[in-house]
């Protein structure tokens, strides 16, 4: 059963408590309803993907009550501060370098060194975020492949019984997801058009290029910034490690293991495996290089449930690159 919470003080306090306990709570923003989870809790973030039935681990947007809170996790330069001043709270998401001290789970950023942050222009949402006191990861609150929800009924139709609660606060004003601007490079890049037009952004940020106009080459696997890949090559669907390989297991281990090995979930639990995926890859990659190993062998992960998203991400990480 999904709890229906009224957007009053008691409802907001209860929703914040659920989020802090690792549960999923849908809430309205000015753009669309978001499916929120504590972004610092890898299992809670994995539960988002499971509830949505999302076949891929895209990096998620972390939501904050104000710019100061956001910039404790994302490093803001002068441009970022100007954009925040001009457009926050509002339908703008900034992609910025992630701060070393940020405790946002690697699954929420898909293992990237950047992080997407946003301060929504919706009073109830900001009250919830302030009460939660942690970054809240939130994609749109719909099943994968369905339309983004702008009313509580849309959320309930897709996610009833799959999430702990919905904080009900009417229809969303904008109805279109936030504009996403990448400020990690020299020139701002519009990664996703959205609630603020390019012209309006350019009035504050100067020239903004558009990701889709940057040429087909950028779309090649491994080149997109959002495809984290280990330094070492990978061998997927392995039954046992060979000489010179580190091992990333799932479920029961083969009889002999190399000195550098991890297991995504000894119990064969796909939610646990998802929660550990990016941390395990980062750790293995670093340790394997140090140990002079040449490759990472990865056990077969079943395609059911979150296994599809895990396998999608492993395939991208293993794709040939220059
Ligand atoms: O309006 C919105 O932005 C809504 C509401 C709920 O806030 N949220 C939303 O989240 O649309 P989502 O998960 O559907 O959009 C996340 C997108 C990813 O698909 C990716 O394109 C981009 O944000 N993104 C997130 N982190 C990124 C990063 N570090 N680098 C590049 N792109 C990133
Ligand atoms: Mg969406």
Structure confidence by residue, pLDDT tens digits, 155-213 = 999 999 999 999 999 999 888 899 999 999 999 999 988 888 888 999 999 999 988 76
Domain coordinates of the chain in residue numbers? Answer: 3-214, 234-318
Task: Find the 296 Cα to ligand 1 centroid distance in Å.
Answer: 29
Rg of the chain taking only CA atoms, in angstroms: 20
Point out the ligand 1 atom lying closest to the alpha carbon of residue 98: 29
- Domain 234-318: which CATH class? alpha beta
Q: In CATH terms, is domain 3-214 a member of 3.90.870.10? A: yes
Identical fold between 3-214 and 234-318 = no
The answer to which of 59-63, 108-112, 281-285 has the lowest mean pLDDT is 281-285
The answer to which of 2-6, 125-129, 142-146, 294-298 has the lowest mean pLDDT is 142-146
- Residues with Cβ within 6 A of ligand 1? 29, 31-32, 34, 58-61, 93, 95, 109, 112, 114-116, 118, 120, 138-140, 177-178, 180, 191-192, 225-226
The residue with tokens 């302030």 is: 130
Instruction: State the Cα–Cα distance between residues 260 and 270, nearest whole angstrom.
Output: 22
* Full-model pTM: 0.89
Q: What's the half-sphere exposure (Cβ side, CA atoms, 13 Å) at 317? A: 29
Nearest residue CA, atom 3 of ligand 1? Answer: 178
Point out the ligand 1 atom lying closest to the alpha carbon of residue 195: 1
* 48 alpha carbon, closest ligand: 1
| Listed residue (127, 131, 128, 134) closest to 108, CA to CA | 134
């Amino acid at each position: 059963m999904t709890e229906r919470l009224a957007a009053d003080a008691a409802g907001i306090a209860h929703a914040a408590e659920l989020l802090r306990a690792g549960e999923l709570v849908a809430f309205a923003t000015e753009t669309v309803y978001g499916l929120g989870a504590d972004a610092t809790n890898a299992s809670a973030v994995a539960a988002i993907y499971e509830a949505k039935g999302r076949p891929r681990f895209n990096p998620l947007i972390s939501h904050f009550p104000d710019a100061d809170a956001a910039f404790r996790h994302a490093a803001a330069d002068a441009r970022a501060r100007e954009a925040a001043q001009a457009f926050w709270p509002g339908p703008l998401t900034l992609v910025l370098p992630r701060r070393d001290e940020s405790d946002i789970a690697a699954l929420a950023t898909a293992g990237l060194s950047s992080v997407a942050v946003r301060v929504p222009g919706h009073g109830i949402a900001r009250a919830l975020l302030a009460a939660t006191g942690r970054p809240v990861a939130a994609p749109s609150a719909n099943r994968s492949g369905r339309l983004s929800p702008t009313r509580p009924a849309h959320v309930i139709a897709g996610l009833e019984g799959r999430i702990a609660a919905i904080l009900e606060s009417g229809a969303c004003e904008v109805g279109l997801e936030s504009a996403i601007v990448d400020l990690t490079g020299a020139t701002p890049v519009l990664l996703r058009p959205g609630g603020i037009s390019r012209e309006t952004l350019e009035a504050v940020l100067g020239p903004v290029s558009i990701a889709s106009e940057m040429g087909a080459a950028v779309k090649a696997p491994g080149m997109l910034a959002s495809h984290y890949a280990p330094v070492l090559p990978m061998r997927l669907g392995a039954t046992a490690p060979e000489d010179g390989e580190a091992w990333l297991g799932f479920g029961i281990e083969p009889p002999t293991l190399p000195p550098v090995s991890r297991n995504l979930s000894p119990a064969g639990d796909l939610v646990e495996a998802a929660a550990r995926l990016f941390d395990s890859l980062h750790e293995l990659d670093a340790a394997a290089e140090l140990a002079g190993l040449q490759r990472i062998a990865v056990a077969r992960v079943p395609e059911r449930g979150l296994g599809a998203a895990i396998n999608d991400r492993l395939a991208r990480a293993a794709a040939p690159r220059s």
